[in-house]
Amino acid sequence: MTLHQLPGGQPLRSVDALIDAGLAAPEQREALQAVAARYAVSVTPAMVELIDPTDAADPIARQFVPDSAERVTLPQEIADPIGDEAHSPVEGVVHRYPDRALLKLVHACPVYCRFCFRREMVGPGGDALTGDKLNAALAYLAGHPEIWEVILTGGDPFILSARRIREVAKRLAAIPHIKVVRWHTRVPIVDPGRITGDYARALRIPGKASYVAVHANHPREFSDAARAALATLADAGHVLVSQSVLLKGVNADVETLSALMRAFVENRVKPYYLHHPDLAPGTARFRLSLEEGQALVKSLRGHLSGLCQPTYILDIPGGAGKIPVGPTFLSACEAPGAEAFAEDRHGEQHRYPPG
């Protein structure tokens, strides 16, 4: 079977399906089945079409096709690397920062990224937040007037139907102190056919500012269909911002990272966060050092439009929260009140007077 003979246009959700599609070698079957027994597998047709099966280093395949290296967990890797559980007062809610909270509506995704920081928690068969659990989560949000922003995540909330989205939107609209709603999703990129005009309208919540954080990691992910989906969301009035992860073998070079950020901006998506990879189990092959990441991000400044500059973010392990770890361009002399030195985009130092 070739890549263009996928039955029914269904996602590839098993090692056998990946092998049949030419995305994994038959001799890898046993090792990859051990990986799939622990971590969910799904590659949508939209992503399959982008993969070059003749390229062993294909950056799209690297993100979604399992690898035997995932069986190795390093001592520093932890099941809940950003500490969701420590800040979950009720099921489905993570309240880490005073003015915002996560609402995790589902635990499933259209694709499963091999570097996912919630890989121990997401997958097919995971319970959706419904009934009494959803009531309790919304009651918590309503009972905490300091919560100004709600971030809908999971899993991927865009796998829900427009009807379910409208139900949640209606209930959030009734909570007066929530002013901003942010949806986090991969769907416009990995399953763009789901983003219809009706779906985009369902995401709007009366009286609230609506943001959609779109996750993409490589410029090739911006297919014609993905670009159309992003346009549908933008035309419906949603403000689009980006989320990316800095990944070795995917985007950890100046040319690719620059093209990725430009692709976002060209599609009305403001670059927002570029995440340093989290310490999730079995993900060491994606991580680079913070120093390497800082050097890459530094290379963007002055060479790309200010619109194309993301904030390089580290999520401190254990739940202490996100901090910016971008490079600095200003260094001060040791003496108090002394002049500083400012580094320009060519690496040259310029004196800057005190005060």
Active-site amino acid positions: 96-97, 100, 109, 113, 116, 118, 278, 315, 322
Phi, psi of 136 (to 5 degrees): -65, -40
Residue 184 and residue 150 in contact, taking contact as beta carbons nearer than 8 Å:
no
Assign 86 to helix, strand or coil: helix
One-letter identity of residue 123: G
Dihedral sign for Cα 31, 37, 38, 43, please. positive
Assign 222 to helix, strand or coil: coil
- For every residue of 259-279, DSSP letters joined together read HHHHHHHHTTEEEEEEEPPP-
* 162-173 vs 131-142: helix crossing angle, rounded to 10: 30
Number of alpha carbons in the 13 Å side-chain half-sphere of residue 222: 20
Report the candidate in 66, 105, 102 with the shortest Cα–Cα distance to residue 82.
Answer: 102
What token pair was written down for 162? 């427009």
Residue 168 and residue 178 in contact, taking contact as beta carbons nearer than 8 Å:
no
- Tell me how far CA of residue 315 lies from CA of 70, 85, 112, 270, 274, in angstroms: 21, 15, 20, 21, 11
* 254-266 vs 290-300: helix crossing angle, rounded to 10: 50
